[in-house]
Chains A and B, each alone.
Chain A
Amino acid sequence: EAEVAQSPRYKITEKSQAVAFWCDPISGHATLYWYRQILGQGPELLVQFQDESVVDDSQLPKDRFSAERLKGVDSTLKIQPAELGDSAMYLCASSFTGSGNTIYFGEGSWLTVV
């Protein structure tokens, strides 16, 4: 079964450093999502791409977070500078285009900021 690939699985970084996460969606999925899941809470959407275009980044802290999907396939989420409150799991997900399609999640990237 095709899966959403993410790396790294675990990352420990110092406050004020830069960190990046990579995601490769399921082949053929035009829609890609980055979610953040803080321990004890449900996933929260950070950014949504349709091909290479951002369609929703209303919850993305744009002063320190950036996301790109240059060729409309894989995507990178960057945090610079990292803050203690950024410690969370960062989930990538993908789906076929169109309302009502199932969203498939990757295993996530755990970030700890020290």
Chain B
Amino acid sequence: AQSVSQHNHHVILSEAASLELGCNYSYGGTVNLFWYVQYPGQHLQLLLKYFSGDPLVKGIKGFEAEFIKSKFSFNLRKPSVQWSDTAEYFCAVNAIITNTDKLIFGTGTRLQVFP
């Protein structure tokens, strides 16, 4: 069965610090990969996604993620965080085994950015 691991459960940073959130998945076949963000009191929003092609994908608000197939990883990065990036971040994988778009989510990483 597919699974997603997010190793950082809670990250605390100061503004302007660099961010990297880890995400590893377990599935040997073709996958689509996603990062979703949930700001306090708001719904899950898509940050970025990888389907194929360039393994370095850029998303909204200056975020990017790199797909490393050999490591089954899809880590999220941002060079300089802002207070407004305080949110919960979820990595998700969609295994291309059927045409069902079923997303498997990680447990999430709570990011707190202090001014």
A residues in contact (CB < 8 Å) with B: 4, 31, 33, 40-45, 48, 50, 55-56, 91, 93, 95, 97-108
Contacts and interface: CB of A to CB of B under 8 A. Distances in A.
Given A44-B105, A91-B44, 4 more contacts: A41-B107, A55-B100, A99-B32, A101-B101
Contacts of B94: 99-100
B99 A45 contact: no
Contacts, number: 64
9 contacts: A33-B103, A42-B90, A42-B92, A48-B100, A55-B100, A56-B102, A91-B43, A103-B103, A107-B43
A18 B106 CA distance: 30
B51 A100 contact: yes
A98 B102 contact: no
Contacts of A40: 107-108
B100 A43 contact: no
